[in-house]
Amino acid sequence: MQILATGIIPQLPGYELNPATWLYLSIVLIVAVFFRFNRVWSLRNFDLLLLLSASPALYALKNVASDGDGSTHAHYAFLFTITGLIFIRLMLDPVLRRRPHFGQNLNAQGSAFLCIAAFMLLTMEAIHTDPPPVTAESVERATDMILGTEHPAETSGDAAAGPVVPILCLPFNTVFQVDASAAKAVAILAHLVVICGLLLVGRNLFGDLQLGLGMATMYLLLPCTAYDVGEVHHVLPAALIVWAIVFYRQPLVSGVLLALACGMMFFPVFLVPLWAAYYGRRGGLRFAAALLLVGAVVFTIVAMTSPGPESVFRRTFGAIQIGELLSFNIPGPTAGFWTGDMNWYRFPVIVSFAIFLAALTFWPRRMQFEQLSAYSAAVIVATQFWYPVHGGAYMLWYLPLLLIVVFRPRLVYAQTQEAASQQSAKATSPGLSGPHAPRAKTPAGRFHLFR
């Protein structure tokens, strides 16, 4: 029962996932498999450049301690720049109508082998490496909350887990009887859930399983996945959001998945208005009913295991650290872009984020799947700009959604269940762009970079 804890699984002789080595090898593999050498000035290559540009800064942040000389702040400033470019790319995605069906520079069998090999290597690293202190502390504190042991919510300098995490982690803690081993098992399972979701998105929504293999392989090869392979409460919300994309035609299922994600971290909450607007009046009611049902179940579990009303409030909202999110007087330097002197400048950023979220909720009036996926990723990316601690470094929050946007071909018939039922006589499969697709009518579509 304690396989991960007792070390029964052997480690490969001489194998060690050095961050610098993984950075160099992953960049080489990603360029070799996904770079379009026959069309250098293409959207695919531009997306690869954006994804790989953040990796050196993430590596530096993992190895350079903050000593007040401004070096760490420079890395966060660079990450902010890359994050801003990713945000612009996501907002412009619905305008880029010409999307040729580009595959990988590797056949399906080779892509599957590379995907499985990368997953096994990351699994070996997660098993034989101690989880980050924040993850172990979050799982232990969350488990004690469910069991009834009081632990005051402390600021850990990282994004804290919500009340749903202990409910999902408690069976693993019971089986492995060691918090660190349970955290490893949940992290490995969460990455596997993300991979399966990306595969289904490629097969069912994009009409090509090889696109799903490409998304899953790039997700495993990117250095940000390896650096945070044990971050349980960062991967689980992203996994649930991916599966909400898989079931986007069913408001009840997607509502349940998004509600669970909202109970783990704070950022999925901002997706609720966007998805409710996408489903419209009838689908929005079912979506809201699913949210309320899951929220009531989680609140009931927390209330039944809490000694008093104050404990219920603390366990429900205190673990998410709402006070830290809205605090503007953090003394001294912080681990992130927003230092103590600059912290007050977050106020106009938060106001701009609220206006941006309201605008996406009411416009466009008829939202398609392309806009839903791109804008959902853009909303999560936008939270990085005002998050006070380690803002810009949480790529796992939006990486699966970003890969869905990057690999997405042109989808003609990806609609909600109500719209699909009205046009079921016209088509039953996704329409992919290709050589016979209509020519673009916008300047951005005619520009060679976006072909």
- pLDDT per position in the chain (451 positions), as tens? 344 444 444 556 666 667 888 888 889 999 999 998 888 888 888 999 999 998 888 888 877 644 444 467 778 888 889 999 999 999 998 888 777 666 788 888 999 999 999 998 888 877 766 554 433 344 344 444 333 343 433 334 455 566 666 666 666 555 554 456 667 778 888 899 999 999 999 999 988 899 999 999 999 999 888 887 877 778 889 999 999 999 999 999 999 999 988 888 888 989 999 999 999 888 889 999 999 998 888 778 777 776 766 666 666 665 555 556 666 655 544 566 777 677 777 788 888 999 999 998 888 777 888 889 999 999 999 998 888 777 788 889 999 999 999 998 876 555 445 444 544 444 444 444 433 344 445 444 444 333 3
Number of domains in the chain: 1
CA-closest candidate to residue 179, choices 107, 227, 131, 122: 131
Whole-number pLDDT of residue 136: 37
d(CA 368, CA 413): 9
CA-closest candidate to residue 294, choices 341, 259, 346, 245: 259
Q: How is residue 333 written in tokens?
A: 């330097």
Residue labelled with tokens 């749903």: 164
Structural domain includes residue 383: yes
Whole-number pLDDT of residue 156: 42
CA-closest candidate to residue 265, choices 227, 298, 303, 238: 238
Structural domain includes residue 418: yes
**Domain of 343, in residue numbers:** 16-450
Alpha helices in 202-271 (DSSP H): 209-221, 223-227, 232-246, 251-262
pTM for the model stands at: 0.79
Structural domain includes residue 11: no
Structural domain includes residue 2: no
d(CA 386, CA 351): 10
Structural domain includes residue 422: yes
Whole-number pLDDT of residue 113: 94
Angle 450-31-115 from CA coordinates, rounded to 5°: 110
Structural domain includes residue 253: yes
Structural domain includes residue 160: yes
Q: How is residue 260 written in tokens?
A: 């669970």
32, 78, 372 from 108: Cα distances, Å: 15, 36, 28
d(CA 8, CA 108): 33
Cβ pair 51, 222 in contact under 8 A: yes
Structural domain includes residue 3: no
Whole-number pLDDT of residue 66: 40
Whole-number pLDDT of residue 322: 58
CA-closest candidate to residue 204, choices 419, 411, 421: 411
d(CA 213, CA 105): 12
Whole-number pLDDT of residue 103: 74
